[in-house]
Amino acid sequence: MRARRNSTGSRSGKGRRSILLRHACYICGGLMSNAGPTLNHLFNIHGFDLPSRERSRRRPQEPAYEFVRDPEMGYDEVHLACPSCWFHCPDGNLDALCKHTQDEHDPIEVDTEKRNSMRRPSRSRSNSVTSTRQSSQPPPPTTPTQEETNETRQIAKKLAELTELFQTFFKG
């Protein structure tokens, strides 16, 4: 994202850099409006649970930065913000956000069914960072069991019955 210059020049009026914070998913890089949707995205899409910041606490002042809420007001830089704490890093440095998240928040994987090829590095039991990227090859096809085939037939039969029922209902 390109920085929009402040009306007061390249720096804020107090000699600090004006920063627009964007909340990003440390796994896929998706941008969210704020911390809440980012935490929900991580839980619902990727199956990871992260802690949230304490409610109603404002971001502490930083001597080097002035934080901008409205992108229309202009800013010098865009930073990626952590949804669990006050950490932020320059835009485009998703690896720094990922490393911070792993080191400081130790995300809990609550849904292993949501593992996919977009997985970023995660911690192993030895507490070292390892890659869990999966092969780009699709998994080998599996043959359905007899029970699965019977269930599929039963579902198809019920759907046909429902379709016939609706057609009769709407004709009459």
Q: How many domains does the chain have?
A: 1
Residue 54 lies in a domain: yes
Residue 84 lies in a domain: yes
Token output for 48: 């990871």
Could you say which DSSP state residue 111 is in?
Answer: -
Residue 65 lies in a domain: yes
Report pLDDT for 128: 35
Q: From start to end of 10-54, where are the E strands?
A: 17-24, 31-32, 48-49
**Parts of the chain with a pLDDT under 50:** 2, 5-11, 117, 121-136
Report pLDDT for 117: 38
Report pLDDT for 111: 79
Residue 45 lies in a domain: yes
Report pLDDT for 168: 83
Report which of 77, 26, 74 is spatially closest to residue 50, judged by C-alpha positions. Answer: 26
Q: Which amino acid is at 92?
A: G
Residue 23 lies in a domain: yes
Residue 166 lies in a domain: no
Report pLDDT for 150: 78
Report pLDDT for 84: 92
**Most distant CA pair in the chain, distance:** 76
CA-angle at 109, arms to 103 and 111, nearest 5°: 160
Residue 3 lies in a domain: no
Report pLDDT for 172: 66
Residue 165 lies in a domain: no
| Whole-number Å distance between alpha carbons of 129 and 83 | 21
Report which of 60, 52, 55, 62 is spatially closest to residue 17, judged by C-alpha positions. Answer: 62
By residue range, what is the domain housing residue 108?
17-130
